[in-house]
Amino acid sequence: MKKAFRALKAGNIVGIFPEGTRNGMKKGVKFHSGAALIALKTGTKVIPVGIQGSFKAFRKVKLNYGKPMDFSKYADKKSDREVLDEITKEIMDEVVRLTNEKI
């Protein structure tokens, strides 16, 4: 988390798999709230990405980028578990939509 905060503060981009693994959606893994927490604490937007294809090495995949998601309306509730869960669900829903969308 500290590395992510430093990277974003330096103006870099951080990629996160909210499921904790590249193929967690196939396994039905619940999304973690780390991306929501980082977005709230740093004020950065989340760009959801749906990945289609195989996760095996040297296989082609398609990336479907969504519109940046702004969660600044929750800025005063940084440590509220319900808010983190709500934001995580919004991110998850968009990632799932982008993953299933025909591109």
What is the predicted pLDDT for the residue at 89?
A: 93
Q: Tens of pLDDT along 8-47?
A: 999 999 998 887 765 555 555 678 899 999 999 999 999 9
| Domain coverage including residue 34 | 2-100
Q: In terms of pLDDT, which residue wins out, 28 or 102?
A: 102
Beta carbons of 9 and 42 less than 8 angstroms apart: yes
- Give this prediction's pTM: 0.83
Q: How many independent structural domains does the chain possess?
A: 1
What is the predicted pLDDT for the residue at 10?
A: 94
Q: Tens of pLDDT along 47-75?
A: 999 989 887 888 899 999 999 999 999 98
Measured CA to CA, the distance from residue 20 to residue 16 in angstroms comes to 8
What is the predicted pLDDT for the residue at 19?
A: 76
Nearest one of 17, 27, 92, 70 to 100, comparing CA atoms: 92
* Residue 16 to residues 24, 69, 76, Cα–Cα distance (Å): 12, 14, 23
